[in-house]
Structure 1
């Protein structure tokens, strides 16, 4: 269901009226703010998800206390919750903390509500994640209200077990290959599958997701502004062709209409990856997931994850490894030359996600540090320049 921002605001106001004076005791009630969450509600939400793995050991387990961690606000509202369990919960070894993402604030429901991100991420954790043998967070509770776009996802807290990505993280070639294996597993599972229109019908196409984001957030001017602001990190040969970047971006988005579709993560920049305990890579933050061509995920991952020299040395081998993994999973994958052309073309919409971030209007909330945006723009524009990607259409 597509909602206008006016309707989202109306439903947000109605929520506040309905919530006045209530006390949450059952997971059937969706919280409207973190401060509304009670031990009884957490018991109702978490124990059913934790109990199957523990059997009788979890009988009688209850949350008897909680402490909210520091607020972390962005496109979603994030908090860690420290849990105190009763004796039964402690004996069962139930987790001492959980990590939450919500859209409790009106600002959270704006873009990721209208472009389908809220429905996509909550449904991913309920429907898709349990079926995929990939390294990704696991949700203990995931729900959204389609009328108001309020949502809450509670995940196992993996902060002490993994190293989260940043623009300063250096990956090995094997870790980069691990990224491509994860993407191939995801893509092969839904490659031109009928499930895209049945079980996965809640996901938007990548073209629609992009169009809504552009129209509602004024993304085109933001991308142009961000490209200009990043002049110091853009190759000197590419920068004078600035006026060609946006048409190429629109062309690479339009290409999804005629290319094979699958389920995409769609925002797999390095900050959304993490190094797992075994040294392999896991993928976090699925709020941009959509249905489109594999090229977006692969081009976006390789071009942001690797230092420029490493990308130059490894990218052909990485793309070949990805295609091998698809074929091993039974997919009729494109040949290397066709895949290479798609890879070059799909760099442009990946770049837009970061020139648009850097070039947000001054009054807009800053979603990412400028240093991160500039480093990713540097890496992606060097890839575009190295590969003559403007001439790939």
Structure 2
């Protein structure tokens, strides 16, 4: 089988990071940002196609360059028109830009959008990325609430395995942090606030012991402590359905703002139980885990035995559950579904007991 051609390294023009949508779509700024992929041609027109605002802004747009009538589609992502509190999330944008500049070219079999330009302000800890518009080429982005079949999950899990199998990249890449451990140590979500959120609509279908905030915090800390003592892999960290896209060639992965080093099980347990309805996850997860382990071993990765891997998988449910339990700035239906699915997985697998949390 021929080797996959790695994606090109994005241009990194030394220009200002735009802070507003208007600045980002300014023809003069885009001309500088896209100079490398347009042979220096001037941007003559910019047409906004779609705008998606969550925490970050994603805007699809079409550009016409001087000397050509062709419209070329791009997608820009960054923190635009945000308040001071949201702007503090800029380091995650820098992390994502570094993924496209450093990691993606080193993992050619990983299906990701082609990033053509990464504009990074390291001193100010802000960045935007400009990617080719996959939708123009026929790709479809999944919804966060889109239910996967087991076959779908096998395909998306194979993409995560491709990333995990290149964990040798972590040597010398100290900028890829152990985010789960850092998450466990943070204090801006107090036990009282977390309990209030779990007592609301997001936890309505979960048993009281799973909605216990103090117990969940203790479990997350116990998981982080165990995870730091295990072999570290390069993991996505937030692989729910909303961060998956479909093409004729197969599934791909987007949104690398939680790229991190950690145990493989953090990704696998979170992914399967976020994308699969609970009944399907319960019926298929052990088979899917086995397929993942087989794929990793075939790639030359030393993995734990099947029973030890199953135990690590069961413990790791706490990561995804905690991540969504503390989430606030996402649409409530998405939060509620993920807390429900992941909380039920924690209950089903008795993750607290495995972690020694009463």
Give TM class, smaller chain. 0.7 to 0.9
Tell me if 1:332 matches 2:302: yes
- C-alpha distance in structure 2 between counterparts of 1:179 and 1:389, whole Å: 24
Query: Once the 2 structures are TM-superposed, how far is the Cα of residue 231 of structure 1 from its aligned partner?
Result: 3.5
User: Which residue matches 2:228?
Assistant: 257
User: Which residue matches 1:150?
Assistant: 126
Relative to its length, the structure with more helix (as a share) is 1
User: Which residue matches 1:137?
Assistant: 113
- C-alpha distance in structure 2 between counterparts of 1:256 and 1:231, whole Å: 26
Aligned partner of residue 111 in structure 2, secondary structure: coil
Residues 1-393 of structure 1 aligned to structure 2 (within 5 Å): 27-32=13-18, 33-37=20-24, 38-48=26-36, 50=37, 61-68=41-48, 71-88=51-68, 90=70, 96-104=72-80, 105=82, 106-110=84-88, 112-113=89-90, 116-132=91-107, 133-160=109-136, 161-190=138-167, 193=168, 195-198=169-172, 200-207=173-180, 209-211=182-184, 214-215=186-187, 217-218=188-189, 220-229=191-200, 230-234=202-206, 236=207, 238-239=209-210, 243-278=214-249, 280-357=250-327, 360=328, 367-393=329-355
Query: Once the 2 structures are TM-superposed, how far is the Cα of residue 305 of structure 1 from its aligned partner?
Result: 0.5
Query: Once the 2 structures are TM-superposed, how far is the Cα of residue 138 of structure 1 from its aligned partner?
Result: 1.7
5+ residue gaps, structure 2: 1-11
The 3 A distance-change label for structure 1 pair 231 and 174 is: closer
Aligned partner of residue 263 in structure 1, secondary structure: strand
- For the 8 Å contact 2:142–2:241, the answer to whether it is kept is yes
Aligned partner of residue 35 in structure 1, secondary structure: helix
- For the 8 Å contact 2:181–2:221, the answer to whether it is kept is no
After TM superposition, the score normalised by the length of structure 2 is 0.85
- C-alpha distance in structure 1 between counterparts of 2:181 and 2:208, whole Å: 32
Query: Once the 2 structures are TM-superposed, how far is the Cα of residue 220 of structure 1 from its aligned partner?
Result: 4.6
- C-alpha distance in structure 2 between counterparts of 1:46 and 1:96, whole Å: 11
- C-alpha distance in structure 2 between counterparts of 1:68 and 1:312, whole Å: 43
5+ residue gaps, structure 1: 1-25, 52-58, 361-366
After TM superposition, the score normalised by the length of structure 1 is 0.78
Aligned partner of residue 88 in structure 1, secondary structure: coil
- Report the number of matched residues: 337
- C-alpha distance in structure 2 between counterparts of 1:219 and 1:275, whole Å: 38
- C-alpha distance in structure 1 between counterparts of 2:248 and 2:21, whole Å: 30
User: Which residue matches 1:4?
Assistant: none
Query: Once the 2 structures are TM-superposed, how far is the Cα of residue 101 of structure 1 from its aligned partner?
Result: 1.1
Query: Once the 2 structures are TM-superposed, how far is the Cα of residue 323 of structure 1 from its aligned partner?
Result: 0.7
Query: Once the 2 structures are TM-superposed, how far is the Cα of residue 163 of structure 1 from its aligned partner?
Result: 2.7
Query: Once the 2 structures are TM-superposed, how far is the Cα of residue 243 of structure 1 from its aligned partner?
Result: 4.2
Cα RMSD for the two superposed structures: 2.4
After superposition, give the CA deviation of every residue in 1:353-385 in whole Å (9 maximum; x if it has no partner): 21112xx4xxxxxx2111111111111122112
Aligned partner of residue 34 in structure 2, secondary structure: helix
- C-alpha distance in structure 2 between counterparts of 1:283 and 1:60, whole Å: 30
The 3 A distance-change label for structure 1 pair 340 and 118 is: same
User: Which residue matches 1:9?
Assistant: none
The 3 A distance-change label for structure 1 pair 378 and 189 is: same
